């Protein structure tokens, strides 16, 4: 009797179930409907390999925690007839005028105010307070590794900055950025026109110990650059904002904006969806179609600072060898261990995990990540817009190992047969400039075709990792018929298409690459349309159309074939 009552309640909760379709009404808890589909499979109410279609009939579904999909959720499709939104958006209410500012309390996260780094005004990302303006910087005077300090021209508002308690510095360093929490900011005793800035741990140790990439002084195009961020006294431009340590948000409205007509929102979660199998039980046959994923945050710099090696991967330990050279690389001096950046939607140990016609926007770190051991997956005809980090990431990047060790994975652990086709990526890397449009690491038999990539601050499409000529198992990767434009806008040592290490039987074919960015604060002139970085090998490069024949390489292998590129 209890079992009958249970199922009656379940069917009442689900709404309408027709064959293997479950309809989720506006405001329904998607996780509970996913659980119901799981139970239908497990209790053999539908065939074990019969796909259950969960249809989101509403417009918006706000998550209080990420959606988790496991092996038991295989053979599931989540779709929408009108691009339903899955998000962690929180509208901030209770705004009051205080002088020139609007001020409101941040939403609570548990018992504390939510700490935020991204604010959206009427659906557009607002500018977090910054010293010189959006994407504006100034050249530093010196970078002192022994003192662990950066010397900058003395700011006019130094006394105000000294009273700020959450001040940060954004540092431009070759092909990456660092975000450093300020410990102290004081005039230099020997030169009052210069100011010394020191930083909190752990980022201070990392920034001044790791050799690549560090800021440089006296490079061919000048010193590395910086800007100070996140202080109330830096809110001097309409549309800027700041959050104080009590959780209050200060916003300087634009002309014509009215409190009663303006929606100001933030994201409460860093991750929206996690799809995860295991080495012995892969998750498989999960499809998202016509879903909009939006509003996910990125908070690591507020807790730990953010010092990266490359591609947006934060360093957890790094230093320079006492003397140059290791058995597998006589010139190696750089040692580094990294973490994977957080992603709004992530999948690992899976097969046939597909995304069709979806939208990814207002996501503050990686948007979509096929992180480890993914097979036979399709990412097709999706749009990525306003992405803080990398739009599409895939494959292992050496997390947990020293990243320069040439490692060959067991075959089961490579990401293989990943098809990334017909996607549009616009305005990615706008929080971490060193991230990329599409980035694949230790992968094989992957196809990146017919994608549009534009407005990125570093490289457009990147394949490969490891900085090695050894056979690491990467191979048969194809970068074909893509259109990359408006790239390397802020950082150099970049390529519209960028590769690393030995990848036999791979190709870069029939791509159109245009409008290499000016990167106004770059310290060298190493921006390329196609860049074969450290020990790239195994590629045939043919039929590519570039604005100019500006190609670069860094100790490439003997099996590179160039033909008929203009």
What pLDDT is stored for residue 110 in this prediction?
84
Q: Is the pLDDT of residue 258 over 60?
A: yes
- In this structure, what are the phi and psi dihedrals at residue 528, rounded to the nearest 5 degrees? -135, 160
Question: Is 405 inside a domain boundary?
Answer: yes
- Specify which residues 537 forms β-bridges with: 502
pLDDT level of residue 19 (50, 70, 90 thresholds): low
pLDDT level of residue 14 (50, 70, 90 thresholds): very low
Token pair 């061919």 is found at: 220
Question: Is 490 inside a domain boundary?
Answer: yes
Question: Are residues 378 and 248 part of one domain?
Answer: no
Which of 246, 266, 286 is the last residue in one of the domains?
266
First to last CA, the chain: 76
Contact 442, 415 (CB under 8 A): yes
Across 483-491, average pLDDT: 98
Question: Is 324 inside a domain boundary?
Answer: no
What pLDDT is stored for residue 84 in this prediction?
98
Which of 266, 281, 307 is the last residue in one of the domains?
266
Helix (H) or strand (E) holding 3: helix 2-14
Give per-residue pLDDT as tens, 415-456: 999 999 999 999 999 999 999 999 999 999 999 999 999 999
Question: Is 72 inside a domain boundary?
Answer: no
What pLDDT is stored for residue 5 in this prediction?
45
Question: Are residues 371 and 507 part of one domain?
Answer: yes
% of the chain exceeding 90 in pLDDT: 92
Give per-residue pLDDT as tens, 364-399: 999 999 999 999 999 999 999 999 999 999 999 999
Give per-residue pLDDT as tens, 298-341: 999 999 999 999 999 999 999 999 888 888 888 889 999 999 99
Give per-residue pLDDT as tens, 92-130: 999 999 999 999 999 988 889 999 999 999 999 999 999
Question: Are residues 370 and 221 part of one domain?
Answer: no
Question: Is 302 inside a domain boundary?
Answer: no
Name the residue range of residue 452's domain. Answer: 365-566
Token duo for residue 470 = 């050894």
Question: Is 435 inside a domain boundary?
Answer: yes
Question: Are residues 227 and 120 part of one domain?
Answer: yes
Q: Is the pLDDT of residue 493 over 70?
A: yes
CATH number at residue 495: 2.160.20.10
Give the whole-angstrom CA distance, residue 317 versus residue 299.
Answer: 20
Question: Is 46 inside a domain boundary?
Answer: no
Q: Is the pLDDT of residue 537 over 90?
A: yes
- Specify which residues 101 forms β-bridges with: 98
Alpha helices in 60-210 (DSSP H): 158-161, 203-209
Question: Is 166 inside a domain boundary?
Answer: yes
Alpha helices in 112-189 (DSSP H): 158-161
Question: Are residues 386 and 254 part of one domain?
Answer: no
Give me the half-sphere count of Cα atoms (radius 13 Å) on the Cβ side of residue 42: 10
Give the whole-angstrom CA distance, residue 125 versus residue 441.
Answer: 30
Across 155-177, average pLDDT: 97
pLDDT level of residue 566 (50, 70, 90 thresholds): confident
Q: Is the pLDDT of residue 35 over 90?
A: yes
- Provide the 10 A C-beta neighbour count for residue 410: 9
Average pLDDT of every residue of the chain: 95
Give me the half-sphere count of Cα atoms (radius 13 Å) on the Cβ side of residue 491: 29
Which of 236, 266, 296 is the last residue in one of the domains?
266
- Specify which residues 17 forms β-bridges with: 22
Number of structural domains in the chain: 2
What pLDDT is stored for residue 9 in this prediction?
43
């Amino acid at each position: 009797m209890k079992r009958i009552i249970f199922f009656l309640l379940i069917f009442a909760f689900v709404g309408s179930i027709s064959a293997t379709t479950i309809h989720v009404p506006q405001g329904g808890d998607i996780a509970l409907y996913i659980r119901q589909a799981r139970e239908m499979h497990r209790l053999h109410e539908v065939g074990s390999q019969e796909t259950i279609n969960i249809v989101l009939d509403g417009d918006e579904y706000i998550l209080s925690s990420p959606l988790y999909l496991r092996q038991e959720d295989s053979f599931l499709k989540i779709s929408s007839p009108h691009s339903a939104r899955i998000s962690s958006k929180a509208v901030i209410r209770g705004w009051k005028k205080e002088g020139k500012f609007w001020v409101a309390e941040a939403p609570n996260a548990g018992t504390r105010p939510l700490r935020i780094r991204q604010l959206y005004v009427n659906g557009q990302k607002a500018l977090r307070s910054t010293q010189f303006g959006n994407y504006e910087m100034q050249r530093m005077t010196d970078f002192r590794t022994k003192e662990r300090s950066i010397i900058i021209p003395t700011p006019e508002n130094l006394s105000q900055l000294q009273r700020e308690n959450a001040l940060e510095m954004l540092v431009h360093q070759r092909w990456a950025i660092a975000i450093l929490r300020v410990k102290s900011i004081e005039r230099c005793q020997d030169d009052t026109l210069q100011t010394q800035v020191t930083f909190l741990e752990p980022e201070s140790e990392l920034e001044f110990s790791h050799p690549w990439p560090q800021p440089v002084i006296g490079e061919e195009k000048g010193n590395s650059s910086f800007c100070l961020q996140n202080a109330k006294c830096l809110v001097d431009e309409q549309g800027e904002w700041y959050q104080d340590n009590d959780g209050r948000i200060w916003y300087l409205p634009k002309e014509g904006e009215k409190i009663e007509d303006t929606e100001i929102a933030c994201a409460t979660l860093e991750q929206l969806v996690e799809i995860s199998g295991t080495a012995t039980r892969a998750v498989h046959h999960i499809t998202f179609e016509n879903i909009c994923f939006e509003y996910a945050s990125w908070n690591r710099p507020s807790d730990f600072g953010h010092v990266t090696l490359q591609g947006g991967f934060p360093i957890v330990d790094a230093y320079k060898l006492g003397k140059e050279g290791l058995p597998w690389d006589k010139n190696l001096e750089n040692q580094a261990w990294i973490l994977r950046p957080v992603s709004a939607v992530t999948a690992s140990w899976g097969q046939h995990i597909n995304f069709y016609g979806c939208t990814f926007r207002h996501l503050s770190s990686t948007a979509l990540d096929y992180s480890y051991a993914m097979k036979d997956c399709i990412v097709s005809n999706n749009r990525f817009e306003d992405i803080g980090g990398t739009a599409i990431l895939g494959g292992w990047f050496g997390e947990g190992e020293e990243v320069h060790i040439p490692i060959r994975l067991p075959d089961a652990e490579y990401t293989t047969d990943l098809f990334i086709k017909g996607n549009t990526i616009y305005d990615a890397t706008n929080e971490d400039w060193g991230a990329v449009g599409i980035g694949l690491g230790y992968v094989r038999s992957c196809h990146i075709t017919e994608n549009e990539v534009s407005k990125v601050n570093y490289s457009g499409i990147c394949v490969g990792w490891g900085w090695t000529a050894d056979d690491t198992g990467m191979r048969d990767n194809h970068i074909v018929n893509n259109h990359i434009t408006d790239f390397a806008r802020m950082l150099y040592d970049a390529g519209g298409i960028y590769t690393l290490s030995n990848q036999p039987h791979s190709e870069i074919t029939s791509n159109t690459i245009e409008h290499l960015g000016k990167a106004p604060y770059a310290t060298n002139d190493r921006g390329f349309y196609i860049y074969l970085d450290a020990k790239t090998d195994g590629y045939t490069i043919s039929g590519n159309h570039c604005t100019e024949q500006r190609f670069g390489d860094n100790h490439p292998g003997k099996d590179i074939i160039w033909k008929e590129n203009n």
